[in-house]
A = this chain, B = another copy of it.
């Protein structure tokens, strides 16, 4: 038997840097091509966060270029507030170091791992340090660093730290070289495009493999930086409560009111009462049993949800729609931002948009765009709660076929904003299947599904009605003529019949013996004011009545009449011609007009 002593010799502490060097796929560095995207994503996330915190409109420059056969250099530069020189080595050269980890508010970066992981990956594949330039204001000179990470200790190793001239007044620039290729170019552009969609206040310039791309900002408003909030009494766990109380000199009531969000004096007293602990006791003196009762009381008492409006920054329905419309041609788009909700004490908001028809591909399953805290998620779609939730919706009841996701010309965009997005791994590719989040996504998609169903129903109904009207208008006159012939009577005017069937504004065009006739009948029961457009190659010099406007272009005439019709009234245009061309009625709702062209 092997003894414990022998085994003990192999026991060792593992540095975080060692851990993530070995498990680099957890950070999104599982392949060289993907590594490039992950590195740029981390740098751009930081740039956007920094600008938001600095309250400046982001102006971000991204460059990716080949510097040797298999060496790619990425550069990301921002106009944020810069980083204090003494912090730079830690921000870029130490994993698990950052400013946003301990704050309860929405931000892109959360973990203090991302950008130093990129530095680690660069150094692992090329052995070269990352180059960082940072300047914190007009009065300061910029400082340039060359930084490596000491793997065994997870501490920065600063090779160079020098003052330099830099044309940016403030901001940060990072350069890292990787052993990689430019194979991910398309995906990278996709990432930048979607980043621009959900960050309309940002201007992003990119130079990728020599090609310039500019994503201009569409909003010049600096979004308010989400503010940090206090922990919510429903979201705290025993260990954290114990740590907060330890060495805290406050009374229980002070501790509850000042240490937690949404707890006022009354609620604090209720909690203390329920826990059976005097509100005047110092929290540092509470023993484990008392703390446990306190925790139970905190979770039992009714407290409003955390104040989401301050700490979260949803995109909003208008911008969601705009974002989709900017990128895709669709017949219909609708968006919804849900009220805020809570998972494990962390507030979150789900918002989504659905687009339909137009130029969206009619074949295959819907395209799904996933976002978390205004960052597009590009990988691991299958592992994401957004995908799972979207597939669990019964799309058939909204008029779509479905194979998991709906099938057909559909695009779905979902954004989850939270003070703590529960990603399935450090690479932040997919959101974990947390019940509350799943529920909210399903709800928002069901709401959008109902809108879509209404649109599809209206579209189908309109099409059906128009088909029927067209059939009637084309058949009735023939029947009437036949009947007249048989009974040897003059032809009957069939318009009132059509009207009674249809209750619409009917425009009917037909040509007999070289005369074109356009009949308009208002069967709606209301007065209508509208415009008749007739487009035709017929010169129609004898047209009666004269149009209000005529335009000729390339042998084609556009004639316009402004018309007002009482209920039951009619309007007739006649001219000599072939009947060529098309009709249009504008200013009347689609639902009450029918255009019948018997010449077609």
- Complex Cα distance, B3 from A94, in Å, reads 23
Which of B14, B126, B382, B423 contacts A238, CB < 8 Å? Answer: B126
A420: interface (CB < 8 Å): yes
- Is B98 in contact with A11, judged by CB distance below 8 angstroms? yes
B-side contacts of A25, CB under 8 Å:
422, 424, 432, 434
Point out the residue from B50, B151, B243 that lies within 8 Å of A239, measured CB to CB.
Answer: B151
Give bound CA distance, A137 to B151, whole Å.
Answer: 37
Q: Does A322 contact B (CB under 8 A)?
A: no
Shortest beta-carbon distance from A383 to chain B in Å:
4
For chain A, residues 96 to 146, give those with C-beta under 8 angstroms from any C-beta of chain B: 96-103, 111-112, 120, 123-127, 134, 136-137
Residues of B within 8 A of A56 (CB): 1
Enumerate chain B residues within 8 angstroms of A18, measured Cβ to Cβ.
101
Residue A54, interface by CB 8 Å: yes
Q: Given A7-B81, A13-B94, A90-B11 in contact, is the A23-B111 Cβ separation under 8 Å?
A: yes
Q: Mark A8-27, 1 if CB is under 8 A from B, else 0.
A: 10111111101101110110
Write the nearest CB–CB distance from A388 to chain B, whole angstroms: 8
Contacts of A16 in B (CB 8 A): 16, 96
Cα-based distance from A206 to B121 in the complex (angstroms)? 44
Task: Verify if A5 is at the interface (C-beta below 8 Å from B).
Answer: yes
| Chain B residues within 8 Å of A380, by CB | 383, 424
Q: Give the shortest distance, in Å, between A419 (CB) and chain B (any CB).
A: 11
Is A282 on the interface with B (CB-CB < 8 A)?
A: no
Q: A136–B3 contact, CB under 8 A?
A: yes
Q: How many residues of A contact B (CB 8 A)?
A: 82
Cβ-defined partner of A96 (8 Å) among B10, B14, B238, B291: B14
Check B96 against A13 for contact (C-beta < 8 Å).
yes
Cβ of A179 within 8 Å of any chain B Cβ, yes or no, is: yes
B12 touching A99 by the CB < 8 A rule?
A: yes
Partner of A7 from the list B12, B54, B382 (CB cut-off 8 Å) is B54
Partner of A13, one of B4, B12, B90, B288: B90
B101 touches A14 (CB 8 A): yes
A242 at the interface (CB under 8 A from B): yes
A543 adjacent to chain B (CB < 8 Å): no
Known: A14-B96, A98-B11. A26 touches B124 (CB 8 A): no
Residue A269 lies at the interface, judged by CB distance under 8 Å to chain B? no
**B239-A21 in contact (CB<8A):** yes
Q: Is the CB of A238 within 8 A of B127?
A: yes
A342 at the B interface (CB under 8 A): no
Known: A13-B90, A124-B239. A22 touches B81 (CB 8 A): no
A1-B54, A53-B7 as given contacts; A124 in contact with B13, CB under 8 Å: no
The answer to whether A12 and B238 touch across the interface, beta carbons within 8 angstroms, is: no
Closest to A148 in B: B239
CB of A227 closer than 8 Å to a CB of B:
no
CB nearest to A122 among chain B residues: B239
Is A83 engaged at the interface, CB distance under 8 Å to the other chain? yes
Residues of B within 8 A of A2 (CB): 53-55, 81, 225
Contacts of A451 in B (CB 8 A): none
Contact B96 A432 (CB under 8 A): no
From residue A533, how far is it (CB to closest CB) to chain B in Å? Answer: 51
Interface residue? A168 (CB, 8 A): no
- A426 at interface (Cβ–Cβ under 8 A)? yes
Q: Confirm or deny: A300 has a beta carbon within 8 angstroms of a beta carbon on chain B.
A: no
**A406 contacts across to B, CB distance below 8 A:** none
Contact B1 A101 (CB under 8 A): no
A8 to B98, CA, bound (A): 9
Asked if A310 is an interface residue, CB under 8 A from chain B, the answer is no
- Interfacial residues of chain A within 258-301, with CB under 8 A of chain B in the complex: 288, 291-292
Q: Which 10 A-B pairs have the closest CB atoms?
A: A383-B383, A124-B239, A4-B136, A10-B99, A14-B96, A8-B84, A425-B425, A127-B238, A4-B81, A4-B82
- 6 A-B residue pairings within 8 Å (CB atoms): A1-B54, A5-B136, A13-B90, A19-B101, A22-B420, A380-B383
Give chain A's interface residues, CB within 8 Å of chain B: 1-5, 7-8, 10-16, 18-19, 21-23, 25-26, 30, 50, 53-56, 81-84, 86-87, 90-91, 94, 96-103, 111-112, 120, 123-127, 134, 136-137, 151-152, 170, 179, 225, 237-240, 242-243, 288, 291-292, 380, 382-383, 388, 420, 422-426, 430, 432, 434
Q: 15 extra interchain contacts, Cβ-Cβ under 8 A, other than A11-B98, A22-B420, A30-B434?
A: A3-B81, A4-B54, A4-B83, A8-B83, A8-B87, A12-B102, A14-B112, A15-B96, A21-B240, A23-B422, A23-B423, A25-B432, A25-B434, A179-B238, A425-B426
